[in-house]
Every structure is written in structure tokens, then in C-alpha cells.
């Protein structure tokens, strides 16, 4: 009898650690807007959908589930940190992008408000590091459970000189080009991606010496390195996690020479043609990886999650055209708590679980990736120093019509991202519950209320017509901000912190 139970136990352990567990890829794009592709994430196609060419995103959507109401934070580091930890960026106290340099507050100077006391050094897997939030990222848990963990591309979780800046400390067994900076110095191999003596900055992309002096665009180089890194776990029949985090389509907006010609021939503005070429290069990367998985016969057991870390850039002169119109019908763009800054293109392919060509309208948040990925991997028992704010997406993935209007999503940006204010940019908070969304200006105290089911562009402020809903959301947002000890800026004239929305 004893031998029988030992046999059962051994069989269980073999099953647990064999390649029956799914491989998982998060394909994360930088600064990609909700409509920056030929895939429609709304109830109708937009003019932007007709501009861009992303056949591999279309392919992924046909094989998986589109999320029409997927959200992130307004800028990169908060989103990326939330994804790895399952903790809302407000709760993390990582509310702005982190500088490559330690203890450097990236907030622009402001005449009215003093900077909030946020965690300027970002995320840390080790406790006791100043100005960081201590948490265990899910790649550490995946690695401990036998997953082969790979990071390729942009990291940007923490400042240099702190543990969180190094992907190896965050649970990754392989790291290609992930470091403390948030954008590339150059996309061009001929520029050594910025690694030129006397000219390099903290934004020079590391680890790609093989491609220095060549015509290899950065997006392509990272894709080639990701495919190389996947060879080992596939040959060893080990489950793998790939964090494919492209620098594209972040500034500097540089032409991908493989794709720029077609957009210029359409008569597009040169800046927008370059932007479109960056998008198509990213899409080619997705297709190359999907083709590789199929060639290696592991595509049937590989989950792909496609996501962007914040909305598309909409400020001049970095984008052409009238400012803050680049994400229409959504208002504003990167840095804003309006939909243009936080609503993202998201697709999940999970063979055998997710139905192809399915659409989920339930609103979700990037911190949901943490519990979801651990459930996908079958990891149930773990101890964490952090309290998880995210919710598993599995109920939605198994039933696209799943609906929960009781959940509240929170955004809090007590920072000054750029020197000039814009719609929803600099010192704003927001909450969404059901179809209702409230926006709060810390600078003016003004509150706005929108019904997103009929007003996705947030053009019809209903705060005066529906004071009951306004008060409800104001209380919910304020209660959560207090519970999370949200950092708040202070008025320079009085030294007092900006009040919470219900304190006015």
C-alpha cells in the first residue's frame, strides 16, 4: 500500500513538472494606442484601423479572444510593475515612470503643486530598498515551479543601483536588453542602438553587439534573440515563460526601413509614416514568433497574451496633426486618465480553452495578469509580501460573455508628466465602475462623469445631471485612495496635500 501511494505521488509530480503545462508568452508593446492596428477593438472600424497593417494581430484575434475594455496605467513603469506584481500602481506608490538614475524624481516642475511622495526608484524583489515597493514578481514563482523564464526587450521597472532594475533579480533566467531605461537611444543597428563611444546615454540598448553596424532594426534583433532563447526550453521539453517586451513603438519615432515606403507612397505625413512602420515591424515580430512556435510544434500548448503598456502618444511635436486627436474616437493619449491614455489593445490566445474569434466586453486591468498567469501555470500555493488587487481572467477566458459591473478600476496620477497640461494629463485620478467613469482634477478640484456605454469619447459630462452617481464614485475612489495610502501632491502656497475627491 505504501509503495502504491509513493507511485501515485511520483506520478503526480511527473505530471506537474512535465511539458503538459502550457507555455506562456506576454507580448507587450510600448505606447501602442487602442486603435493603432488593423484589428477593430470597438463595435465598428475606425479610420485608424484602415491606416495600419497588422495581419498577425488579425491572425491572433482569429485564433483567440479580443478584449474591448482592457486597461493599463497612463504611463509605462506603473503598468509594467502592476503586471509583474498584481498590485495596482496607486497601491504600489509607483505612479510615474522611473528614471534610470537612482533617487531622481521624474516629475516636471510646477508652479502650483509640489511633487507627491511616490516610489521614485520603482519595484524591488528585495525588502528595505529606499523609495521602492517590495513585492515578489510572478516570474520568480514561475521559475520556482520549473518554468524557463525569459525576458527580451524593455524592462523599466526600477532605477539603476536597485535590485529591480536587473531582470535576473526579477525571476528571469535569460535577459536580453532589459535594463533601467524606458526607451531606446536608437532603433538602428548602424548606430549600435546608441552604443557609440562618447555618444551613448543611459538609453543605449544593451546586449545586442552581434548586430552592431548592421542594417538590423531593433525590433528584428530582439525577435531573433527571443527565438534563439526559446530553443533551449523547447528542446528540453520544459515549459517556458517569455516576456516579449518591445521598445517599439516608443519614441524616438524612427522609420523601420522594411515598411516605411508603403506609408509614404500613401501620402502620409513623414512622422506618421514612421510611426506606422514601427507598428508593422512589431506585428512582423508577432508573426515570426507565432510561425516559430508552429514550426517547433508547440503552438498548440502555448498561450499568447498581447497587450500595450499605455495609450498612444498624442502630444506635439512628437506626433503630427492636431494635438490629442491621434487616438480618436478616444480622448487624449499617453499620460492621460481619459480613455486614450489607458484603454489598450488586448488579445489572448489559449488553444483548447479560448474560442477563436471571440470577443470579451468585460473591463479588465493589467494587474489581472498576475493571478491569471499563475492560474494558467497551475501554481496555487505561494506566499507573497504584497496584497493582490488583480482578478483572474479565467472566468472571462472560458466564457466571453462573463460580466461583472460591481468591480471598480482605479487610476491615480499625482504627477506632472510633461511641462504643459493636457486633457486628463498631470494631476488627475479616475475610477470606472460598470459603464460609469469619474475623473478628478487635483489641480482644480473639478469632477467629471461619463457614461462610456454611450459616450466612449468622454464628450458629454453628466456630473451636474447625475449627482448621485458622482457622489457614489467620488466616495469609492476616495476610500480606495486612503486605503492604499495614495501619494498626493501638495499646494505650494499652503503646504497642504491636495484633498481626496470627497474632501472638497
Contacts of residue 186, Cβ cutoff 8 Å, sequence gap at least 6: 192, 193, 194, 204, 205, 218, 252, 254
Instruction: With H, G, I as helix, E, B as strand and everything else as coil, classify residue 305.
Output: strand
Pair 349, 303: CB distance under 8 Å: yes
Upper half-sphere CA count for residue 117 (Cβ side, 13 Å): 4
- Domain made up of 23-397: CATH architecture: 3-Layer(aba) Sandwich (3.40)
Q: How far apart are the first and last CA of the chain?
A: 70
When pLDDT is cut at 50, 70 and 90, the band that residue 504 belongs to is confident
- CB environment 18-56: b (16+ within 10 A), e (fewer): ebebbbbbbbbbbbbbbbbbbbbbeeeebebbebbbbeb
For 162, counting Cβ atoms within 10 Å of its Cβ (0-12 exposed, 13-18 middle, 19+ buried), the class is buried
Q: Is the pLDDT at 87 greater than 70, yes or no?
A: yes
Percentage of the chain with pLDDT > 90?
A: 95
pLDDT tens, residue by residue, 121-171? 999 999 999 999 999 999 999 999 999 999 999 999 999 999 999 999 999
Instruction: With H, G, I as helix, E, B as strand and everything else as coil, classify residue 448.
Output: strand
**Strand 240-245 versus strand 23-29 pairing type:** parallel
**Strand 343-349 versus strand 302-308 pairing type:** antiparallel
Determine the average pLDDT of the residues in 307-316.
97
CA distance 107 to 290: 39
Helix 76-85 and helix 369-376, axial crossing angle in degrees, nearest 10: 40
Locus of grid cell 489572448: 348
* Nearest residue to 120 (alpha-carbon basis) of 110, 128, 131, 108: 131
When pLDDT is cut at 50, 70 and 90, the band that residue 19 belongs to is low
**Strand 364-365 versus strand 65-71 pairing type:** parallel
Determine the average pLDDT of the residues in 210-233.
98
Determine the average pLDDT of the residues in 218-232.
98
Please provide the CATH number assigned to the domain covering 408-503: 3.30.1120.10
Torsion angles phi and psi, residue 345, rounded to 5: -75, 125
Locus of grid cell 509583474: 84
pLDDT tens, residue by residue, 444-477? 999 999 999 999 999 999 999 999 999 999 999 9
Determine the average pLDDT of the residues in 341-369.
98
CA distance 186 to 169: 26
Q: Is the pLDDT at 18 greater than 90, yes or no?
A: no
Least confident of 5-9, 103-107, 134-138: 5-9
pLDDT tens, residue by residue, 60-72? 999 999 999 999 9
What pLDDT is stored for residue 323 in this prediction? 96
Q: Is the dihedral of CA 90, 96, 101, 105 positive or negative?
A: negative
CA distance 492 to 504: 18
Locus of grid cell 453628466: 462
CA distance 490 to 496: 5
Determine the average pLDDT of the residues in 101-116.
97
pLDDT tens, residue by residue, 24-55? 999 999 999 999 999 999 999 999 999 999 99
What pLDDT is stored for residue 488 in this prediction? 98
Pair 91, 99: CB distance under 8 Å: no
Q: Is the dihedral of CA 430, 79, 364, 455 positive or negative?
A: positive
For 197, counting Cβ atoms within 10 Å of its Cβ (0-12 exposed, 13-18 middle, 19+ buried), the class is exposed
Q: What is the DSSP string of 152-199?
A: EE---SB-TTSGGGSGGGGT-SEEES-SS-SS-S-SBGGGGGG--TTT
Pair 155, 179: CB distance under 8 Å: yes
* Nearest residue to 150 (alpha-carbon basis) of 168, 165, 136, 162: 168
**Strand 302-308 versus strand 174-176 pairing type:** unpaired
What pLDDT is stored for residue 187 in this prediction? 98
CA distance 320 to 245: 26
Task: Output the nine-digit C-alpha cell for 255.
Answer: 522609420
What pLDDT is stored for residue 155 in this prediction? 98
Q: Give domain limits for the chain.
A: 23-397, 408-503
CA distance 28 to 31: 10
CA distance 257 to 262: 10
Q: Is the pLDDT at 7 greater than 90, yes or no?
A: no
CATH fold match for the domains 23-397 and 408-503: no
Q: Is the dihedral of CA 270, 274, 276, 277 positive or negative?
A: positive
Which runs of consecutive H residues, i.e. helices, occur in 363-497? 369-376, 394-397, 467-483
Instruction: With H, G, I as helix, E, B as strand and everything else as coil, classify residue 194.
Output: helix
pLDDT tens, residue by residue, 251-291? 999 999 999 999 999 999 999 999 999 999 999 999 999 99
Distances (CA, A) of 273 to 46, 264, 278, 311, 345: 18, 6, 9, 18, 20
Instruction: With H, G, I as helix, E, B as strand and everything else as coil, classify residue 442.
Output: coil
pLDDT tens, residue by residue, 209-220? 999 999 999 999
Cβ–Cβ contacts within 10 Å for residue 10, how many? Answer: 10
Determine the average pLDDT of the residues in 169-187.
98
CA angle 328, 447, 489 (to 5 degrees): 100
CA distance 43 to 456: 11
Q: Is the dihedral of CA 332, 336, 337, 341 positive or negative?
A: positive
Amino acid at each position: 500500500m505504501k509503495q502504491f501511494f509513493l507511485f501515485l505521488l511520483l506520478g503526480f509530480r511527473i505530471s506537474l513538472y512535465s511539458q503538459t503545462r502550457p507555455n506562456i508568452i506576454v507580448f507587450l508593446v510600448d505606447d501602442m494606442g487602442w486603435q493603432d492596428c488593423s484589428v477593430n477593438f470597438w463595435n465598428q472600424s475606425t479610420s485608424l484601423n484602415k491606416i495600419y497593417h497588422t495581419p498577425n494581430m488579425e491572425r491572433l484575434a482569429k485564433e483567440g479572444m479580443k478584449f474591448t475594455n482592457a486597461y493599463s496605467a497612463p504611463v509605462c513603469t506603473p503598468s509594467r510593475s502592476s503586471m509583474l506584481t498584481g498590485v495596482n500602481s496607486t497601491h504600489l506608490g509607483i505612479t510615474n515612470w522611473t528614471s534610470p538614475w537612482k533617487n531622481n524624481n521624474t516629475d516636471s516642475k510646477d508652479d502650483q503643486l509640489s511633487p507627491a511622495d511616490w516610489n521614485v526608484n520603482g519595484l524591488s524583489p528585495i525588502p528595505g530598498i529606499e523609495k521602492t515597493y517590495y513585492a515578489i514578481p510572478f516570474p520568480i514563482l514561475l521559475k520556482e515551479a520549473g518554468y524557463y523564464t525569459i525576458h527580451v526587450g524593455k524592462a523599466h521597472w526600477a532605477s539603476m543601483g536597485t535590485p529591480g532594475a536587473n531582470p535576473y533579480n526579477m525571476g528571469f533566467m535569460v535577459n536580453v536588453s532589459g535594463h533601467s531605461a524606458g526607451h531606446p537611444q536608437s532603433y538602428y543597428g548602424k548606430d549600435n542602438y546608441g552604443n557609440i563611444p562618447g555618444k551613448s546615454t543611459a538609453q543605449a540598448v544593451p546586449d545586442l553587439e552581434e548586430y552592431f553596424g548592421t542594417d538590423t532594426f531593433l525590433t528584428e534583433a530582439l525577435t531573433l534573440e527571443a527565438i534563439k532563447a526559446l530553443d533551449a526550453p523547447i528542446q528540453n521539453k520544459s515549459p517556458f515563460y517569455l516576456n516579449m517586451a518591445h521598445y517599439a513603438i516608443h519614441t524616438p519615432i524612427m522609420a523601420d526601413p522594411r515598411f516605411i515606403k508603403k506609408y509614404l507612397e500613401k501620402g502620409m505625413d513623414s512622422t506618421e509614416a514612421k510611426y506606422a512602420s514601427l507598428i508593422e515591424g512589431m506585428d512582423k515580430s508577432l508573426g515570426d514568433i507565432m510561425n516559430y512556435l508552429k514550426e517547433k510544434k508547440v503552438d498548440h500548448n502555448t498561450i499568447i497574451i498581447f497587450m500595450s503598456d499605455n495609450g498612444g502618444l498624442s502630444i506635439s511635436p512628437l506626433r503630427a496633426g492636431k494635438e490629442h486627436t491621434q487616438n480618436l474616437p478616444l480622448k487624449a493619449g499617453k499620460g492621460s486618465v481619459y480613455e486614450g491614455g489607458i484603454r489598450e489593445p488586448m488579445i489572448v490566445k489559449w488553444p483548447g480553452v479560448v474560442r477563436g474569434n471571440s470577443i470579451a466586453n468585460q473591463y479588465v486591468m493589467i494587474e489581472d495578469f498576475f493571478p491569471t498567469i499563475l492560474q494558467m501555470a497551475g501554481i496555487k500555493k505561494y506566499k507573497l509580501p504584497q496584497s493582490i488587487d488583480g482578478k483572474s481572467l479565467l472566468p472571462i477566458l472560458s466564457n466571453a460573455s462573463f460580466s461583472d459591473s460591481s468591480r471598480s478600476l482605479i487610476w491615480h496620477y499625482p504627477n506632472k508628466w510633461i511641462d504643459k497640461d493636457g486633457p486628463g494629463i498631470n494631476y488627475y485620478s479616475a475610477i470606472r465602475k460598470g459603464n460609469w467613469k469619474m475623473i478628478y482634477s487635483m489641480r482644480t478640484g473639478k469632477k467629471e462623469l461619463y457614461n462610456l456605454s454611450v459616450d466612449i469619447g468622454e464628450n458629454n459630462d453628466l456630473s451636474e445631471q447625475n449627482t448621485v452617481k458622482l457622489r457614489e464614485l467620488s466616495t469609492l475612489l476616495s476610500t480606495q485612495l486612503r486605503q492604499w495610502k495614495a501619494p498626493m501632491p501638495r499646494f505650494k502656497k499652503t503646504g497642504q496635500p491636495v484633498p481626496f475627491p470627497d474632501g472638497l
